[in-house]
């Protein structure tokens, strides 16, 4: 049941900021609504004001700019999945976007909404973190950029102030010599992730690993986990299967899955993380060597 609330459809970002400055604490911003409306119907969230962002043209776009990509906050998963630019140059984002929910959900759900809902099981945040993405946040006091991994501070908790909103997500173009991979385990195709893994491997000209990102999501802690251990173990090394396997085992030690999850026990998540991290690293390495991710 939806409680009594006031509903607004502003057409500019500045209107939203003005509104939030006044009522931020009592307001929920809504984009696709695929999470928020469910929570509202269950009575988990009871905002006084509901502000729809979908009528703001300047929030929806996929633009290649400088050395990277700018994705507007209300860009839908379906738009990301169907963008030729993303599929060709940011295949990791394509794979992660496509892994989320069903087509019907992807038609509605937005990248900004997904990030702001901050579920530890979300699929696109690990991919974004693996690409060193930043959130462009706007509010009364101007704009700021925050690396996405710092944006998530807990289950459904973000670093966003009550008078702020995400305007865009900025993704750097993966450096030359990069390969990426996204792997997910769920019970069905439309399920939330039991576990997901996003990996980027960037190789030097001599074949050594210049930079690596291993990001694990799917409820392995209050937020996704960017494995620093993997970066320490792999960067500067020639990547071979035994080292990758060892790294995968080390990464699994950084995970802290909750015992209350219905989707799988902590034991299963840990076991499978070793498998998925290894497979994702091997796949990304293969792609980096083949120059698939340019």
Among 30, 138, 192, 281, binds other proteins (CB under 8 A): 192
Residue pair 209/202 in contact by the 8 Å Cβ criterion: yes
Strand 68-72 relative to strand 165-172, pairing: antiparallel
Number of neighbours of residue 286 by Cβ within 10 angstroms: 13
Verify binding: residue 265, other proteins, rule CB under 8 A. Answer: yes
Residue pair 145/136 in contact by the 8 Å Cβ criterion: yes
Residue pair 49/27 in contact by the 8 Å Cβ criterion: yes
Task: Choose between 231 and 271: whose C-beta lies nearer to other proteins.
Answer: 271
Which of the residues 272 through 291 are near other proteins (CB under 8 A)?
Answer: 272, 275-276
- Report, in Å, the least distance between residue 189 CB and other proteins: 4
Verify binding: residue 241, other proteins, rule CB under 8 A. Answer: no
- Report, in Å, the least distance between residue 261 CB and other proteins: 10
Task: Choose between 78 and 170: whose C-beta lies nearer to other proteins.
Answer: 78
Verify binding: residue 194, other proteins, rule CB under 8 A. Answer: yes
Residue 40 phi/psi, 5° resolution? -65, -40
How many chain residues interact with other proteins (CB under 8 A)? 19
- Report, in Å, the least distance between residue 198 CB and other proteins: 17
Contact region with other proteins (CB under 8 A), list: 49-57, 106-114, 185-193, 204-212: 185-193
Contact region with other proteins (CB under 8 A), list: 190-198, 222-230, 238-246, 251-259: 190-198
- Report, in Å, the least distance between residue 273 CB and other proteins: 10
Q: How far apart are CA 252 and CA 256, in angstroms?
A: 9
Residue 134: C-alpha distances to residues 270, 272, 291 (Å): 28, 29, 25
Contact region with other proteins (CB under 8 A), list: 156-164, 196-204, 238-246, 265-273: 265-273
Among 102, 140, 162, 232, binds other proteins (CB under 8 A): 102
Task: Choose between 1 and 290: whose C-beta lies nearer to other proteins.
Answer: 1
Q: How far apart are CA 196 and CA 44, in angstroms?
A: 26
Contact region with other proteins (CB under 8 A), list: 112-120, 135-143, 203-211, 266-274: 266-274
Verify binding: residue 1, other proteins, rule CB under 8 A. Answer: yes
Task: Choose between 83 and 121: whose C-beta lies nearer to other proteins.
Answer: 121
Distance of CA 68 to the CA centre of its chain: 16
Residue 151: C-alpha distances to residues 92, 112, 128, 290 (Å): 20, 12, 12, 33
Could you tell me where the DSSP H helices lie in the chain?
13-23, 36-41, 77-82, 84-89, 91-98, 103-108, 111-117, 124-130, 148-151, 228-234, 241-253, 266-290
What secondary structure letter does DSSP report for 3?
P
Verify binding: residue 271, other proteins, rule CB under 8 A. Answer: yes
Distance of CA 290 to the CA centre of its chain: 26
3-class secondary-structure state, position 51: strand
Contact region with other proteins (CB under 8 A), list: 7-15, 68-76, 233-241, 263-271: 263-271
Interface positions with other proteins (CB under 8 A): 1, 102, 185, 187-192, 194, 262-265, 268, 271-272, 275-276
């Amino acid at each position: 049941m939806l409680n009594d609330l006031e509903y607004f459809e502003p057409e500019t970002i500045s209107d939203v900021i003005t509104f939030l400055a006044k009522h931020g604490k009592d307001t929920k911003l809504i984009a696709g609504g695929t999470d928020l409306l469910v929570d509202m119907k269950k009575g988990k969230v009871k905002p006084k004001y509901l502000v729809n962002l979908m009528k703001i043209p300047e929030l929806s776009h996929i633009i290649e700019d400088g050395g990277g990509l700018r994705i507007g906050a209300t860009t839908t998963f379906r738009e990301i999945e169907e963008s030729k630019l993303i599929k060709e140059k940011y295949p990791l984002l394509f794979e992660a976007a496509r892994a989320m929910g069903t087509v019907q959900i992807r038609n509605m759900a937005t990248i900004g909404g997904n990030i702001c809902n901050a579920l530890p099981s979300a699929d696109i945040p690990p991919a974004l973190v693996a690409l060193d993405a930043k959130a462009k946040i706007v509010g009364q006091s101007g704009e700021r950029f925050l690396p996405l991994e710092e944006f998530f501070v807990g289950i459904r908790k973000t670093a966003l102030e009550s008078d702020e909103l995400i305007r865009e997500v900025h993704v750097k173009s993966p450096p030359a010599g990069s390969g990426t991979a996204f792997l997910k385990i769920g019970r069905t195709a439309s399920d939330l992730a039991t576990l997901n893994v996003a990996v980027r491997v960037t190789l030097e000209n001599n074949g050594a690993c210049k930079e690596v990102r291993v990001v694990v999501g799917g409820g392995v802690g209050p937020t996704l986990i960017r494995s620093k251990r993997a970066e320490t173990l792999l960067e500067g090394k020639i990547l071979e299967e035994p080292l990758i396997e060892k790294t995968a085992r080390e990464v699994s030690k950084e995970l802290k899955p909750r015992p209350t999850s219905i989707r799988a026990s902590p034991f299963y998540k840990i076991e499978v993380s070793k498998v998925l991290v290894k497979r994702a690293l091997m796949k990304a390495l293969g792609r980096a060597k083949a120059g698939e991710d340019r």
